[in-house]
């Protein structure tokens, strides 16, 4: 009798995992508007989203790797719970054929190797720490040779004056010429697209 009670639970488990695997794919980029104050200090670019991560399917479950303090991995549901209103968007590499088993393995290894790495509060692309968009940018750049966006100076995001002035006061005027990558530029990258079903 007990075995018969367990069978429906197992069926639901496998159905749930199958649905997950259909909705998300290895290498998908997930975007949210993080409720944490710190995530809004960096200019977002032309999007309301200010935080992102990369999804890998592990044991049938989507896991998001993302650069917070420190670089971490989270179950997809836990990651989405960080978002205002639990709203999120997925962007997927146009050229999906590039994400073969070997490339996905290389990307996953890149992500795992960065776990526990400190957050880059200086927002520079040239050190051993990582900020959020930088983590995703470097993963695609180093593992696939794809530049999701072109680094720009902080000064070029003048339309987001509040965060720029805060960063200038915090780190000095030199940060205005620091080249960086931001969430919105990855979200609007020519290399990614929205999946047919979100």
Angstrom distance (rounded) from CA 61 to CA 73: 12
Which range among 72-81, 91-100, 124-133, 158-167 shows the weakest confidence by mean pLDDT? 158-167
Q: What is the pLDDT of residue 40?
A: 58
Question: Domains of the chain: which residue ranges?
Answer: 23-193
- This prediction's pTM: 0.85
CA proximity to 27, closest of 130, 129, 131, 101: 101
Q: In the CATH hierarchy, which fold is given to the domain comprising 23-193?
A: endopeptidase fold (from Nostoc punctiforme) (3.90.1720)
pLDDT of residue 7: 53
The CB-side HSE value for 177 (13 A sphere, CA atoms) comes to 2
43-76: per-residue pLDDT in tens? 788 888 999 999 999 999 999 999 999 999 999 9
Above 90 in pLDDT, residue 115?
yes
Beta strands 71-75 and 179-180 are unpaired
* pLDDT tier, 9 (very low <50, low <70, confident <90, very high otherwise): very low
pLDDT above 90 coverage of the chain, percent: 60
């Amino acid at each position: 009798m007990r075995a018969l009670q367990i069978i429906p639970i197992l069926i639901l488990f496998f159905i749930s995992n199958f649905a997950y695997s259909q909705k998300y794919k290895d290498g998908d980029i997930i975007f949210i508007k993080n409720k944490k104050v710190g995530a809004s200090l960096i200019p977002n670019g032309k999007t309301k989203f200010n935080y992102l991560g990369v999804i890998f399917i592990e044991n049938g479950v989507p896991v998001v790797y993302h650069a917070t303090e420190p670089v971490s991995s989270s179950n997809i549901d836990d990651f989405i719970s960080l978002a205002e209103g639990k709203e999120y968007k997925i962007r997927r590499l146009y050229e999906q054929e590039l994400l073969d088993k070997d490339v996905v393995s290389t990307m996953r290894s890149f992500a795992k190797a960065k776990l526990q790495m400190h957050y880059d509060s200086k927002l520079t692309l040239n050190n051993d720490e990582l900020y959020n968009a930088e983590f995703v940018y470097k993963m695609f750049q180093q593992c696939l040779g794809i530049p999701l966006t072109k680094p720009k100076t902080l000064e070029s995001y003048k339309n987001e004056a509040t965060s720029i002035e805060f960063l200038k006061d915090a780190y000095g005027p030199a940060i205005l010429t620091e080249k960086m990558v931001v969430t919105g530029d990855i979200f609007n990258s020519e290399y990614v697209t929205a999946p047919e079903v979100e």
